């Protein structure tokens, strides 16, 4: 607001009145204009930071030497190396011969087929490991529950190099698991460099995602619906199956679909823990980009994108059909973790949870603990040398070297700023895609594209589209630095906000909104005062994801950073990798501590919904 320069007491009252009128007018205008303005801003950010840069790369798959051609696509699609047996159909092999090969018991999957196969297995494993955690967190009360819930998302942000280190130390030949198995007299397991190791690592990354979205859904189940079912004579099992479970399915399917999409685009972890036999599509996209063979790289990445988006589209159709209407939340009361009686009914689920926690310790806690252990040991036993290295680098590193503290500060600043951008973006898109009009699901799936595009392609697009800039009237407009990084992080994180918030908005009783509107509240006011508070757990879950994505982001950050002064923790970790694992793991532990603290703060600020 411009400050008035008027002075003099005689004008005071009139001036005050004018100011009040102005304020009221401004507030009214803001209220009325808020959503359109936010929507416009969202579209502009998405176009500038995502769709345009990525398009500059994808266009290369169809425009070769200035002519539009589908030959590159055709070459990729009809290559059995990529597409296995079905590709032979395109090259004129008779369908019967292809069918014979498929039925022969050892059909060629092709790289794309294999990538989909491992992604499907990863999804199943992530759901299997994520659901019990959601059950525990949503339905039981125990000391440290909220802290544990906040920290479930932690694996999500770890750089793949750290996860690889943790997994080698845990599941390797001389790893913790074999030591334990040996101690209890069981044989050795050679888990490393197998598909199983890759699947478990993918579950390590994505089971927390499944757990987190399902927990949020479970906590949003209205207790009165269950009580009604029970009072009508339904058994607890029946009430769960008919009332609770249908409200969880969309979240579980969402977790599975997102896991598939992420692991379909997986790259470093597959080569670190599996080996080149298990190479995924993204490995080849990387190699083709490195060799500057853009046409083929873009074609492959587009195929990846088409598969991922089809799956997301299918999910969105499903989600729309399965939205549960609710008009308020009174969460189910949580059970004590200590069984109140020794009946089978009380003991059985708790015994199951006890068994699950052993598995969870091995899969989630042990790799992280190994990482911490590696940061505290050297060739001659326990040492703090690696942390001293961080301090020394901070104190005496050159300006062109990455500084640990600056990296911590940047990560936190970028995460906070990205959250401030991603939340409104996500809420706006959620509102826009839950209105009733034709084609809204198409819009929704297009808005989900940042989840599904190859990170390698995004990095290249940002370099060309933003860093090199565009020429306008003899001047080159280039974008880089902190603002661009924040925008890129927000674009990467906002789909999570959409996906957690939209189902809740969809399910809200429309009469709430309509009566508020009838009483004169603007659309933005209704959203802020009525709708969002009702879906608050989902908003907090989305916020946590947006922060996690920002803290873990690497490829866009390194491209857009205009100097070491803008480097973040994952970049510091990558720079500190050397012959000794110490410095990188010490930085990894710093990332763990900082991230844990951030998530605890988010969940504390987000609050619990018990009070409602």
Partner 1 sequence: MKRRTFLTAAGATVATTVAGCSGIAGESEPDDERTLVVGTYSAFIDAPSTSPGAWLKEQFESEFDARLIWQTPENEVNHYIERKNAGVDTETDVYVGLNVDDLVRIDDQLDDGLFAEAGDVEGADSVKSQLSFDPDNRAVPFDTGYVSLVYDGTSMTAPETFEGLLAEDVAGDLIAQNPASSATGRAFLLHTVAAFGPDGYLDYWADLQANDVRVLGSWSDAYSAWSAGEAPMVVSYSTDQVFADRNDANLEKHQIRFLNDQGYANPEGMAVFADANEPELAREFMSFLLRPEVQGEIAVRNVAFPATTDAALPEDYAELAKEPPEPVTFTYDELQGSVSGWIEAWERQFAEN
The interface with partner 1 within residues 164-193 (CB under 8 A) comprises 164-165, 168-169, 172-175, 192-193
- The number of residues that bind partner 1 (CB under 8 A) is 84
Contacts of 255 (CB under 8 A, 6+ apart): 126, 127, 130, 206, 209, 210, 211, 213, 214
Between 478 and 528, name the residue whose CB sits nearer to partner 1.
478
Give the C-alpha separation, 45 to 366, whole Å: 40
Give the C-alpha separation, 155 to 592, whole Å: 9
By CB under 8 A, the residues from 103 to 132 that bind partner 1 are 108-111, 113-114
Among 49, 243, 271, 419, binds partner 1 (CB under 8 A): 271
CA 411-414-416 angle, to 5 degrees, is 105
DSSP designation for 430: H
Do 338 and 545 meet the contact criterion of CB atoms below 8 Å apart? no
Using the rule CB under 8 A, give the single segment among 162-170, 253-261, 298-306, 598-606 that binds partner 1.
Answer: 162-170
Cβ at position 137, least distance to partner 1 in Å: 33
Between 496 and 554, name the residue whose CB sits nearer to partner 1.
554
DSSP string for 523-587: HHHHIIIIIHHHTHHHHHHHHHHHHHHHHH--HHHHHH--SGGG--HHHHHHHT-SSSSHHHHHH
For residue 63, state whether it binds partner 1 (rule: CB under 8 A): no
For residue 401, state whether it binds partner 1 (rule: CB under 8 A): yes
Using the rule CB under 8 A, give the single segment among 237-245, 266-274, 317-325, 444-452 that binds partner 1.
Answer: 266-274
**Alpha-carbon Rg of the chain, whole angstroms?**
26
Give the C-alpha separation, 127 to 148, whole Å: 18
Among positive and negative, which fits the CA dihedral 89, 91, 94, 100?
Answer: negative
Could you give the angle at which helices 195-219 and 245-264 cross, rounded to 10 degrees? 140
Between 63 and 513, name the residue whose CB sits nearer to partner 1.
63
Cβ at position 40, least distance to partner 1 in Å: 20
Between 296 and 319, name the residue whose CB sits nearer to partner 1.
296
Token pair, residue 178, equals 């074999």
Among 145, 577, 596, 608, binds partner 1 (CB under 8 A): 577
Between 144 and 474, name the residue whose CB sits nearer to partner 1.
474
Closest alpha carbon to 315 in 392, 273, 400, 252: 252
Among 250, 461, 552, 583, binds partner 1 (CB under 8 A): 583
Cβ at position 428, least distance to partner 1 in Å: 24
Among 8, 105, 187, 379, binds partner 1 (CB under 8 A): 379
Closest alpha carbon to 280 in 298, 291, 265, 292: 265
Between 69 and 228, name the residue whose CB sits nearer to partner 1.
69
Greatest Cα pair distance in the chain: 97
By CB under 8 A, the residues from 435 to 494 that bind partner 1 are 459-460, 463-464, 466-469, 471, 474-484
For residue 562, state whether it binds partner 1 (rule: CB under 8 A): yes
Token pair, residue 65, equals 């030497």
For residue 501, state whether it binds partner 1 (rule: CB under 8 A): no
By CB under 8 A, the residues from 303 to 332 that bind partner 1 are none
Among 558, 596, 606, 608, binds partner 1 (CB under 8 A): 558
Measure the N-to-C terminal CA separation of the chain; round to a whole number of Å. Answer: 36
Among 230, 350, 441, 580, binds partner 1 (CB under 8 A): 580
Cβ at position 595, least distance to partner 1 in Å: 21
For residue 378, state whether it binds partner 1 (rule: CB under 8 A): yes
Ramachandran category for residue 341: left, alpha or beta (phi over 0 → left; psi -120 to 50 → alpha): beta
Between the alpha carbon of residue 123 and those of residues 163, 218, 257, 263, the distances in Å are 18, 20, 7, 8
Give the C-alpha separation, 418 to 568, whole Å: 14
For residue 564, state whether it binds partner 1 (rule: CB under 8 A): yes
Among 103, 578, 605, 611, binds partner 1 (CB under 8 A): 578
Closest alpha carbon to 308 in 546, 94, 495: 495
For residue 84, state whether it binds partner 1 (rule: CB under 8 A): yes
Q: Do β-strands 140-141 and 335-336 pair in parallel, antiparallel, or remain unpaired?
A: parallel
Using the rule CB under 8 A, give the single segment among 148-156, 159-167, 344-352, 355-363 that binds partner 1.
Answer: 159-167
Between 42 and 370, name the residue whose CB sits nearer to partner 1.
370
Between 436 and 579, name the residue whose CB sits nearer to partner 1.
579
By CB under 8 A, the residues from 186 to 245 that bind partner 1 are 192-193
By CB under 8 A, the residues from 279 to 308 that bind partner 1 are 279, 283-284, 286-287, 290-292, 295
Between 50 and 545, name the residue whose CB sits nearer to partner 1.
50
Do 368 and 169 meet the contact criterion of CB atoms below 8 Å apart? no
By CB under 8 A, the residues from 525 to 544 that bind partner 1 are none
By CB under 8 A, the residues from 381 to 400 that bind partner 1 are 389, 398-400
Between 272 and 492, name the residue whose CB sits nearer to partner 1.
272
Ramachandran category for residue 282: left, alpha or beta (phi over 0 → left; psi -120 to 50 → alpha): alpha
By CB under 8 A, the residues from 403 to 442 that bind partner 1 are none
Ramachandran category for residue 108: left, alpha or beta (phi over 0 → left; psi -120 to 50 → alpha): beta
Closest alpha carbon to 550 in 439, 423, 431: 423
Using the rule CB under 8 A, give the single segment among 142-150, 235-243, 273-281, 541-549 that binds partner 1.
Answer: 273-281
For residue 337, state whether it binds partner 1 (rule: CB under 8 A): no
Between 169 and 498, name the residue whose CB sits nearer to partner 1.
169
Q: Do β-strands 335-336 and 377-378 pair in parallel, antiparallel, or remain unpaired?
A: unpaired
Between 82 and 218, name the residue whose CB sits nearer to partner 1.
82
């Amino acid at each position: 607001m411009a400050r008035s320069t008027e002075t003099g007491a005689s004008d005071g009252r009139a001036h005050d009145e004018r100011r009040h009128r102005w304020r009221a007018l401004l507030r009214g205008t803001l209220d009325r204009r808020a959503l359109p303005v936010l929507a416009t801003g969202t579209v502009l950010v998405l176009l500038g930071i995502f769709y345009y840069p990525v398009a500059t790369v994808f266009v290369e798959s169809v425009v070769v030497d200035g002519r539009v051609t589908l030959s590159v696509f055709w070459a990729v699609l009809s290559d059995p190396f990529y597409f296995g047996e079905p590709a032979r159909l395109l090259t004129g092999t008779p369908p019967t011969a292809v069918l014979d090969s498929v039925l022969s018991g050892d059909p060629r999957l092709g790289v794309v087929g294999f990538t989909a196969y491992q992604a499907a297995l990863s999804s199943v494993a992530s759901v299997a490991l994520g659901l019990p955690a959601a059950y525990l967190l949503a339905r039981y009360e125990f000391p440290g529950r909220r802290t544990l819930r906040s920290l479930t998302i932690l694996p999500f942000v770890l750089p793949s190099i750290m996860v690889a280190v943790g997994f080698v130390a845990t599941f390797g030949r001389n790893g913790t698991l074999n030591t334990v198995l040996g101690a209890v007299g069981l044989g050795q397991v050679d888990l490393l460099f197998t598909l199983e190791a890759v699947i478990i690592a993918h579950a390590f990354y994505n089971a927390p995602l499944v757990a987190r979205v399902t927990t949020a859904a479970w906590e949003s189940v209205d207790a009165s619906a269950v009580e009604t079912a029970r009072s009508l004579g339904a058994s607890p099992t029946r009430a769960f199956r008919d009332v609770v479970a249908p409200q969880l399915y969309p979240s579980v399917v969402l977790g599975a679909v997102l896991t598939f999409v992420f692991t379909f685009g997986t790259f470093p972890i597959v080569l670190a823990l599996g080996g080149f036999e298990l190479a995924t599509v993204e490995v080849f996209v990387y190699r083709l980009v490195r060799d500057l063979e853009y046409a083929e790289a873009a074609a492959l990445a587009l195929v990846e994108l088409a598969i991922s988006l089809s799956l997301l589209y299918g999910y969105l159709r499903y989600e729309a059909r399965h939205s549960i209407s609710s008009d308020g939340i009174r969460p189910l009361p949580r059970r004590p973790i200590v069984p109140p009686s020794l009946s089978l009914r009380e003991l059985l689920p708790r015994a199951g949870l006890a068994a699950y926690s052993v598995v969870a310790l091995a899969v989630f806690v042990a790799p992280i603990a190994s990482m911490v252990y590696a940061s505290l040991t050297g060739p001659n036993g326990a040492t703090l040398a690696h942390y001293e290295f961080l301090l020394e680098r901070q104190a005496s590193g050159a300006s062109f070297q990455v500084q640990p503290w600056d990296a911590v500060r940047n990560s936190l600043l970028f995460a906070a700023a990205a959250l401030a951008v991603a939340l409104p973006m996500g809420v706006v898109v959620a509102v826009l895609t839950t209105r009733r009009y034709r084609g809204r699901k198409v819009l929704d799936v297009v808005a989900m594209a940042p989840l599904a595009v190859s990170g390698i392609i995004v990095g290249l697009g940002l370099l060309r589209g933003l860093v090199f800039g565009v020429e306008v009237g003899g001047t080159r407009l280039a974008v880089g630095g902190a603002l661009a990084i924040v925008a890129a992080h927000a674009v990467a994180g906002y789909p999570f906000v959409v996906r957690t918030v939209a189902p809740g908005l969809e399910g809200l009783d429309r009469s709430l909104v309509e009566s508020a509107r009838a009483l004169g509240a603007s659309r933005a006011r209704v959203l802020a005062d009525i709708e969002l508070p009702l879906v608050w757990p989902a908003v907090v879950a989305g916020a946590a994801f947006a922060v996690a994505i920002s803290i873990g982001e690497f490829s866009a950050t390194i491209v857009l950073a205009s100097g070491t002064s803008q480097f973040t923790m994952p970049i510091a970790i990558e720079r500190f990798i050397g012959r000794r694992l110490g410095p990188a793991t010490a930085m990894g532990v710093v990332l763990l501590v900082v991230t844990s603290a951030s998530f605890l703060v988010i969940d504390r600020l987000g609050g619990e919904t018990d009070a409602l």
